[in-house]
Every structure is written in structure tokens, then in C-alpha cells.
Amino acid sequence: MRKATAILLSTALFSTALCGAALPAFAEDGDITLDVIICQYGPNTNEWFLGSGMDGTNFVDKFEAENPGIKLNLDVVSWNDVYTEVDTRIANNNAPDILNIDVFANYANEGLLLPVSDYCPEELLGDFFPSFIDQSVIDDTVWAVPDLASARALFYNVDMFEEVGIEVPTTWAELEDACQAIIDFYDGEVYPWGIDMTTDEGQAAFAYYTWGNGGGFVDENGEWAVNSAENAEAINYALGLVEKGYTNPNPATQTRYDLQDMFAAGKLAMIIAPNQLPTYVADKGGDINMATANIPANEGKSSSSVGVMDRVMAFKDDSAPDQDARNEAIGKFLSFFYDPENYVGWVSMEGFLPAVNSAVEALVEADPSFEAWLEVLGGCQFYPTAKAEWDQVKQGVIAAEQNALTGADIQAELDALQEQLAG
């Protein structure tokens, strides 16, 4: 009987092993099938790529019709799941051919990615904003291209500011005065300022304050400098705002979306948010008279907007029979995606900012407010995502902020993180 059990178990295990192995894509002779993973930016993403959101058709059908011999096996994956999915696929030796995600350094450093020059047509490569492409370079090689961007700015509730009778703050001192005035006027019913130091986006808070104080994640040589005196001063300033009751009460668990909801409900006067905030507020049924301004900086320091960019990258596949044909197919995918005819629809659909010059004209024509944002985008700083330790730094500064919120000394926390990075 034991033997029978053993046989059954081993059969089961064996069949599992078979299921786990990558199933080759069944394609017609000579056809190339590209596995593509796209992140879900909003409810329209799926419709546009797979449904009927692209003027009655969709990206995959239109691409396959225009590019015979190339099939797309395209999945739209939510941001919550995409890291799990990609990691699992890499671990199972089944990485996608084309991946749309935010990070790239780990994949590049581990030799999993193809250099962009291997597959991207030169004309297209020259079309990307150069400052964007620079963010995806490691060892003088471009490993990914930006698919879209968004820029952050200070949004404020114009009606509240008029009611209270205050000007938009540009410096930290003015910000504190404005906060106090709002607290006094509304008797604490409205939070003047929103802070998100959550696991979701605490690194953004770090950027807003440290960049506004001449600090930041790295020094002028691009080396990690998370524990600079400017950084500690900046975070202490932010913590001071929390302590004085100028902000939402639980910055460690209230995400930017919670803050955006409060802003849409008229319970928050100021918020640093991406350019899609007006769309978000309108979708929530909010009717807020809002305007944008520069993120306040410390006296004598320059304000800097935060740019966030996502990327498209191609993984190596040594098992592909014809590497040149595969590279060419990936190039065709990119050319098709960035063709203004398709790309403009994609970018404007979710209210993002473009990554290529050729889309600017059509976008500004469709929505003149884009122009101001493109200017903001030009002066943006980006997270140092090309550095291998970025994951660790991102989690590290969030943990430091959260520990400081519960009473720890921020300088000591940042010193410890810097030491880990050096060690």
C-alpha cells in the first residue's frame, strides 16, 4: 500500500512539474510570438490594449493586422501584482519578452535585459526626451525606454485660500503661516497640509522635502548621501508639521489616495499630487476649485518638482531561434506603440505626460493645459532608479520616516541607512 501511495504521489508531483514548465507558444510556422506585460494604469488600459477602447478596435488586433508574422501574447496586469508576476516568471525561466514597469536596474544588473540599441529603431530612440533616456542608463548603456511620465506639483483649494485670505506659500516659513491661518479659520475642521509617509510612497515625501532643502538621495557625484544634514533638517521640518497638527493625523498609514480623497471632499487644503489630480477629483464626484503652484522650498533653496516615469524594456531570450527576427519584432512593437497616431490616445487616455517629442504637438492641441505641465516636466528631478541599491534606499527612507514618526531620531536613522549602503 505504501508503494501505491508513493507511486501516486510521485505521479502527481511529476505532472505538476510538467505543468510548471514553460509551455511554448504555439504559433504558425515562422510566426514570432511576443509575450508582453503591460501595467494597468486605470480602467481604460485593458480596453485600449485588449478590448475595444482604440476607436472600436484594440492595440493587439491593430498591431497584428499591420505586422503580419508577429503575434502578441499581451497581459494587462495590475500594479499590485506585477512585481510578483514578473519575479515568478523570472524564477521559472519564463520572463516576458517585453515588460512595462517602473524599475529596471535589478533586471539590467543581473544581465536579464537586452540593450535598447539592439532592438529600438534609431529614429525612435532620438525621439525620446533626452533627460528621460538618461534615467535608464547604467554603464553607458540604455536598458529601457520611458513609456510615459507624470509630474508632481502643489495643488491648493483656491476657494479656501480666498476665504482665509492667504497667498500660496513658496517657502517653508510661509507654509507654516498658511497652515496656522487655515487651522485658525476653520477651527481645525480642515487639514491644511497632506503628508504621505506610507509604505506606498514614503520615498516621494522624502524627495519633496529634501530636494526643497538642497539635499536628496544622492550627492552631486551621484553617490548615495541619504544622511546629509540637509536631509535630516528637511525631514525634521516635515515631522514638525505633523507634530503641530498641520497635517493629516496618520501619515504612516494614510496614502496619497486617502489624501486625494480628502482633498476632493474639501477636507484638505493643500496636497502635492501628480498632474492627474483634477481627473481623479472629478471621478470622485468632487467639485474643487483648484490651482497648482511650485512645491514650497526652504528659504533660499530652489523648488524642484518630482517626476515619475515608467518604462518599457525587453528581456533576453536565448531560446529564441532567430535573435535578429525577435529584435526586429520588438522594434516594430515599439515603433507601433510610439506612433503618434496610437501613442497620443494612450497618453491622454489616463491623463499622463508623453515621453516622446513627436506626441507633444498633438497633445497640446487637444488640451492646452498640457503645455504648462510639459514645462514642469522639463525641470523635474527623478528618483535615482538606475542605481542598484534603489530598492533598499526606497524602503530604507520610508522605514526611517516611519520610525521618526514614532519618536526615533531621524539623523540616527539615516546614518544607519547610509552605513548599510556603504557596507
Partner 1 sequence: MIKNNGKKWWVPYLWLLPSIILISVFVVFPILIVFRLSFSEISKAGVVGGFAGFKNYIDAVHLPAFRTVMINTFWWVISVVGLSTLLGFIIAMVMNQKFRGRKIARSILIFPWATSLVIQASVWNYIIKYEYGSLNSVLLNLGIIKNAINWRSSYQIEFIWECAVGIFVTIPFVTFCVLSGLQSIDESLYESARVDGAGFWNRLFSITLPLVRPSLSVSTVLNIIYVFNSFPIIYTMTKGAPANKTDTMITYLYMLNFYDRKKGPANALSVIGFLILCLCSGIYMITVMRKEDEA
Phi, psi of 142 (to 5 degrees): -85, 125
Should residue 249 be labelled a site residue for partner 1 when binding is judged by CB under 8 A?
yes
Q: Which residue has the cell 534603489?
A: 390
Should residue 247 be labelled a site residue for partner 1 when binding is judged by CB under 8 A?
no
Structure letter (DSSP) for residue 24:
P
Candidate list 66, 110, 167, 419; residue touching partner 1; CB under 8 A: 110
Gap between the Cα atoms of 311 and 360, Å rounded: 18
Q: Which stretch binds partner 1 (CB under 8 A): 250-258, 271-279, 348-356, 368-376?
A: 250-258
Should residue 8 be labelled a site residue for partner 1 when binding is judged by CB under 8 A?
yes
Contact 333, 34 (CB under 8 A): yes
Q: Which stretch binds partner 1 (CB under 8 A): 5-13, 134-142, 203-211, 276-284?
A: 5-13
- Beta pairing class for 306-314 and 98-101: antiparallel
Q: How far is the CB of 86 from partner 1 (least distance, A)?
A: 8
Conformational region of residue 362, where left means phi above 0, alpha means psi within -120 to 50, and beta covers everything else:
alpha
Helix (H, G, I), strand (E, B) or coil at 170: coil
Q: Which residue has the cell 526586429?
A: 328
Should residue 205 be labelled a site residue for partner 1 when binding is judged by CB under 8 A?
no
Should residue 21 be labelled a site residue for partner 1 when binding is judged by CB under 8 A?
no
Q: Which is nearer to partner 1, 255 or 294 (CB)?
A: 255
User: Could you say which residues in the range 380-419 bind partner 1, by CB under 8 A?
Assistant: 391-392, 395, 398-400, 402-403, 405-406
Phi, psi of 2 (to 5 degrees): -60, -40
Stretch 87-106: interaction string toward partner 1, x if CB under 8 A = xx-xx--------------x
Which grid coordinates are listed for 154?
Answer: 502643489
Q: How far is the CB of 178 from partner 1 (least distance, A)?
A: 20
Q: Which stretch binds partner 1 (CB under 8 A): 33-41, 248-256, 299-307, 343-351?
A: 248-256
User: Could you say which residues in the range 316-355 bind partner 1, by CB under 8 A?
Assistant: none
Structure letter (DSSP) for residue 339:
S
Residue 366's contacts (CB-CB under 8 Å, 6 or more residues apart) are 344, 348
Q: Which residue has the cell 508632481?
A: 152
Q: Which is nearer to partner 1, 250 or 369 (CB)?
A: 250
- Beta pairing class for 145-157 and 306-314: antiparallel
Q: Please tell me the count of residues contacting partner 1 according to CB under 8 A.
A: 45
Q: Which is nearer to partner 1, 13 or 173 (CB)?
A: 13
Residue 92's contacts (CB-CB under 8 Å, 6 or more residues apart) are 20, 22
Candidate list 94, 180, 253, 348; residue touching partner 1; CB under 8 A: 253
Q: How far is the CB of 12 from partner 1 (least distance, A)?
A: 4
Which grid coordinates are listed for 131?
Answer: 533627460
Gap between the Cα atoms of 21 and 243, Å rounded: 54
C-beta atoms surrounding 91 within 10 Å: 9
Should residue 165 be labelled a site residue for partner 1 when binding is judged by CB under 8 A?
no
Should residue 4 be labelled a site residue for partner 1 when binding is judged by CB under 8 A?
yes
Q: Which stretch binds partner 1 (CB under 8 A): 54-62, 229-237, 260-268, 276-284?
A: 260-268
Gap between the Cα atoms of 106 and 355, Å rounded: 22
Contact set with partner 1 (CB under 8 A)? 1, 4-5, 8-9, 12-13, 15-17, 19-20, 83-84, 86-88, 90-91, 106-107, 110, 112, 197-200, 248-250, 252-253, 262, 265, 267, 391-392, 395, 398-400, 402-403, 405-406
